[in-house]
Amino acid sequence: MKRTRSTITSALLLALLSAAASAQPVRTERNMSLDLASQIAAATVAACSANNYNVTAAVVDRAGTLRALHRADAAGPHTVGAAQAKAYTSASARNTTSAMLENVQKNPGAATLVHIPGFLILGGGVPVRVGNDVIGAVGVGGAPGGHLDEQCAMAALDKVKDLLK
């Protein structure tokens, strides 16, 4: 009887370990559609234009790959690279770039984040979330201050919030 219990316990333990090792070999992840990325980029540029800021808005997917880019007619050429780098940084870190900037300024251990290739630690990058999942990010460049870039991105995300469910 004791041997049978031991055998059953061992078999159950082996089955549980086997199931855990093979759990979800293929994952399903949410990601950014081209249509949604275009809507966010357009809404971001419109929000900034309403305040007379000529900006570029870049929207990337969860992997930081560019999905949409909208540049206001009078936006400077430097705003393209800045917007894309802010979006990439935000998607990669799954945080706003303004929060990252604050962390870099206050935490000497985080100061080296500025040396990661492709990262731009300036305000204006905002993750796009569906629930707790980051499905991409929007980056904005061209307003007179990163906090204003971020405000435009937040206004755009508020405009499309019904699509982010």
**94, part of any domain:** yes
Looking at residue 52, what DSSP letter applies? Answer: T
Ranking 23-37, 66-80, 84-98, 132-146 by mean pLDDT, the lowest is 23-37
pLDDT tens digits, 55-81 = 999 999 999 999 999 999 999 999 999
> At how many degrees (to 10) do helices 146-159 and 34-49 cross?
130
Q: What pLDDT is attached to residue 37?
A: 98
Q: Which domain holds residue 38?
A: 34-163
38: domain CATH number?
3.30.450.150
**44, part of any domain:** yes
CA distance 135 to 127: 8
**38, part of any domain:** yes
**108, part of any domain:** yes
Percentage of residues in the chain having pLDDT higher than 70 = 86
CA distance 138 to 72: 15
**7, part of any domain:** no
**8, part of any domain:** no
Cβ contacts of 88 within 8 Å, gap of 6 or more = 60, 64, 118, 119, 120, 125, 137, 139
Sign of the torsion angle spanned by Cα atoms 114, 116, 117, 119: negative
**129, part of any domain:** yes
CA distance 154 to 43: 10
Q: What pLDDT is attached to residue 14?
A: 55
Q: What pLDDT is attached to residue 15?
A: 56
For the chain, give the mean pLDDT.
90
Percentage of residues in the chain having pLDDT higher than 90 = 82
**56, part of any domain:** yes
pLDDT tens digits, 10-58 = 555 555 555 555 577 898 889 999 999 999 999 999 999 999 999 999 9
Strand order in the sheet with 66-71: 66-71, 56-61, 133-141, 125-130
Ranking 6-20, 74-88, 89-103, 122-136 by mean pLDDT, the lowest is 6-20
The structural domain count of the chain equals: 1
